[in-house]
Homo-oligomer: A and B are copies of this chain.
Amino acid sequence: MFSLTVSPRFYETDAFGHVNNTVVPGWFEAAREPIFRIFCPDMDIKKMNLILARIEVDFVAQIYYGSEVELKTGIEKIGNSSFTVVQEAYQGGKLVARGRAVQVYFDHELQKSGPVPEVYRAQLAEQLIKA
């Protein structure tokens, strides 16, 4: 699985005193960057051929300011024109959030979604999570 460590930023907390829930989808997007790089190695964003179709997040425990969070990212399933990313956030070794993101391959020339090309599919397969 890919791993990214973030330090909660003070502005990411809310009046309950913890990290606000709406911050987690942003962290998970940041943690999917190695997947973006598979589809767009030079990070020229204009050429990025991925669309985000759906996210899910389960908020498992409070996330605190002042201690690092590790984000783990793997691939759960590779379909024809889409694939499902699974993501987990850990703080102090404890699972605090879990998420999924469904990314769809988008062909800019045809201006529609299409089958994920084999070259990308192989690299995604390396990150497949064992069930």
Known: A15-B45, A55-B59; 5 extra A-B contacts, CB below 8 A, are A11-B22, A11-B26, A11-B30, A13-B15, A45-B66
Q: Is the CB of A53 within 8 A of B45?
A: no
Q: How many copies, total?
A: 4
Q: Is the CB of A10 within 8 A of B25?
A: no
Give the interface size bracket for A toward B. 35 or more
A interface residues with partner B (beta carbon < 8 Å): 7, 9-11, 13-18, 20-23, 25-26, 29-30, 33, 36, 43, 45-46, 48, 51-59, 65-66
Q: List 22 A-B contacts (CB under 8 A).
A: A10-B14, A10-B20, A11-B14, A13-B14, A13-B15, A14-B14, A15-B15, A15-B46, A16-B48, A21-B29, A22-B25, A25-B25, A25-B57, A43-B65, A45-B66, A53-B59, A54-B58, A54-B59, A55-B55, A55-B56, A55-B59, A56-B56
